[in-house]
């Protein structure tokens, strides 16, 4: 890996220009994260370089072995049955998952393969090039369409409901959405994390007082009903032809209407995540409803250095609503880092879940290197579960990846080696299956959320 000095990185000049142009010379953490990951010329995910693999920054299940994509290919083929299949993959990266899936369907489910259309939601030109190379043989045999926006997928016609199966799949997509970061104050209220210009060549992280749009009561964690998100004025579909929201740098801290809307959206997502404005009430809920031991709570409250930080995924929530409302898939499969409501509250007590990866190491100084490192946060899956169930979807599974793959027959993909060669194709596949389900590793790190639309 190249040696990069602090306050360097691919997006250094873009960030400095953005901060200097802002009247208060600061931007929200969500905007900084968006710039660092998705800026069209310097963003980490957009830049023309390899990022995934043992020689790079991180590895995904799809990179462990093609058996991961083939396993899901077999499941998707079974779900489609005699119907035509539309597969929409969100964030396909270099195309390893869809490549393995298509290889399986071509050979193992040719009837489904012949009725298949693939939509790939990928904004990186470099990744699109890699996908085109990987799928060259398949592109000559079936429609494979890159989309710039979810609205580019045709609306599912009512007359095709009985002869079309639409599946939306993602693997490590939701965890890379920009988030707002809020910190609870001991006396009550919140601070919001921002990135502020320090001098002509440097910037720093800071916390600023932040007022929500209005007081809110938390969503009942045992009540999955929500107001119709598609009629909610706070949350329309993700707008424009871009994956994340875009604002002119000069509007930050100036447009009071926009600031009010941001605060209202953040407050609403906090409510749906089950957080109280009064942190003591959140702790009481943990003790009374979840039966969290009093001594465990006391350990948190007695910590003078306690930093209660919440990552608020406003953009991910809006995008998931678009998937539910605009795409109306039959099935949604989301695989990612994350936790349920209790897990997310406990992560907030520990300072949040934000992490940055560089050369397979976790870095705390990520904010000094915009565009150089991957950044992710844990996904609050209960937020997606409630959104889906309020939109007519049933939650068929929410389980750790290892448990789900084991229950659904991943061991059927084990192969008997023809000899004692540990590097044979069979031996490699068997080791990969173990890695995908291994407790303490990928089997526990990722969750599988499966939601199916009611007929």
What is 271-338 written as a DSSP string?
HHHT--SSHHHHHHHHHHTS---HHHHHHHHT-TT---EEEE-HHHHHHHHHIIIII--SEEEEEESE
Rounded-to-integer distance, Cα 83 and Cα 162, Å: 8
Rounded-to-integer distance, Cα 438 and Cα 443, Å: 5
Across the range 22-40, mean pLDDT stands at 94
Confidence of residue 301 (pLDDT cuts 50, 70, 90): low
pLDDT in tens, 126-171: 999 999 999 999 999 999 999 999 999 998 775 566 799 999 999 9
pLDDT in tens, 416-453: 887 777 888 899 999 999 999 999 999 999 999 999 99
User: Over 70: is that where the pLDDT of 321 sits?
Assistant: yes
Q: Which of 34, 167, 38, 161 is nearest to 90 (CA)?
A: 167
pLDDT in tens, 356-393: 988 767 888 889 989 888 899 999 999 999 999 999 99
Q: What pLDDT is attached to residue 50?
A: 62
Rounded-to-integer distance, Cα 135 and Cα 158, Å: 31
pLDDT in tens, 388-417: 999 999 999 999 999 999 999 999 999 988
Per-chain mean pLDDT for the chain: 85
User: Over 80: is that where the pLDDT of 184 sits?
Assistant: yes
Of residues 311 and 373, more confidently modeled: 311
Q: What pLDDT is attached to residue 304?
A: 60
Confidence of residue 59 (pLDDT cuts 50, 70, 90): low
Rounded-to-integer distance, Cα 244 and Cα 34, Å: 8
Q: What pLDDT is attached to residue 312?
A: 97
Say if residues 423 and 392 touch (Cβ distance below 8 Å).
no
User: Over 70: is that where the pLDDT of 4 sits?
Assistant: no
Confidence of residue 51 (pLDDT cuts 50, 70, 90): low
Global model pTM greater than 0.75: yes
Q: What pLDDT is attached to residue 295?
A: 76
Confidence of residue 315 (pLDDT cuts 50, 70, 90): very high
Say if residues 367 and 425 touch (Cβ distance below 8 Å).
no
Confidence of residue 58 (pLDDT cuts 50, 70, 90): low
Q: What pLDDT is attached to residue 417?
A: 83
């Amino acid at each position: 890996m190249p040696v990069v000095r602090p306050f360097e990185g691919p997006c250094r000049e873009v960030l400095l220009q953005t901060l200097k142009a802002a009247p208060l010379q600061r931007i929200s953490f969500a905007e900084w994260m968006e710039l660092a990951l998705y800026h069209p010329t310097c963003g980490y995910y957009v830049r023309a370089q390899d990022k995934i693999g043992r020689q790079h920054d991180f590895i995904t299940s799809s990179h462990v072995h093609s058996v991961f994509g083939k396993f899901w290919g077999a499941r998707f083929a079974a779900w489609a049955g005699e119907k035509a299949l539309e597969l929409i993959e969100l964030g396909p990266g270099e195309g390893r998952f869809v490549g393995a899936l298509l290889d399986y369907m071509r050979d193992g489910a040719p009837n489904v393969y012949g009725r298949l259309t693939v939509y790939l939601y990928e904004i990186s030109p470099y990744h699109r090039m890699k996908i085109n190379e990987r799928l060259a043989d398949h592109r000559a045999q079936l429609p494979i369409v890159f989309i710039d926006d979810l609205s580019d997928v045709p609306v599912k016609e009512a007359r095709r409901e009985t002869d079309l199966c639409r599946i939306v799949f993602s693997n490590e997509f939701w965890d890379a959405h920009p988030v707002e970061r809020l910190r609870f104050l001991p006396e009550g209220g919140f601070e919001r994390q921002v990135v502020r210009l320090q001098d002509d060549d440097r910037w720093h992280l800071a916390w600023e007082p932040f007022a929500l749009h209005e007081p809110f009561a938390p969503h009942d964690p045992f009540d999955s009903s929500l107001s119709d998100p598609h009629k909610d004025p706070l949350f329309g579909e993700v707008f424009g032809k871009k994956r994340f929201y875009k604002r002119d740098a000069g509007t930050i801290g100036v447009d009071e209407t926009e600031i009010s809307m941001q605060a209202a959206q953040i407050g609403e997502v906090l409510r749906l995540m089950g957080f109280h404005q009064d942190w003591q009430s959140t702790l009481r809920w943990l003790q009374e409803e979840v039966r969290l031991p009093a001594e465990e709570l006391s350990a948190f409250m007695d910590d003078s250095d306690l930093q209660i930080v919440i990552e608020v995924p406003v953009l991910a929530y809006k995008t998931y609503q678009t998937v539910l409302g605009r795409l109306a898939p039959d099935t949604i499969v989301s695989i990612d880092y994350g936790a349920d409501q209790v897990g997310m509250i406990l992560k907030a007590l520990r300072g949040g879940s934000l992490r940055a990866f560089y050369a397979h190491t976790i870095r705390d100084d990520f904010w000094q290197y915009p565009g150089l490192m991957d950044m992710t946060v844990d996904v609050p899956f209960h937020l997606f579960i409630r959104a889906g169930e309020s939109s007519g979807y049933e939650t068929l599974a929410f389980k750790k990846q290892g448990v789900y793959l084991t229950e659904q027959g991943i061991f059927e993909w084990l192969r008997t080696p023809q000899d004692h060669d540990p590097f044979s194709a069979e031996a490699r596949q068997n080791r990969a299956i173990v890695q995908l389900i291994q407790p303490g590793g990928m089997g526990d790190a990722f969750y599988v959320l499966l939601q199916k639309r009611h007929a």
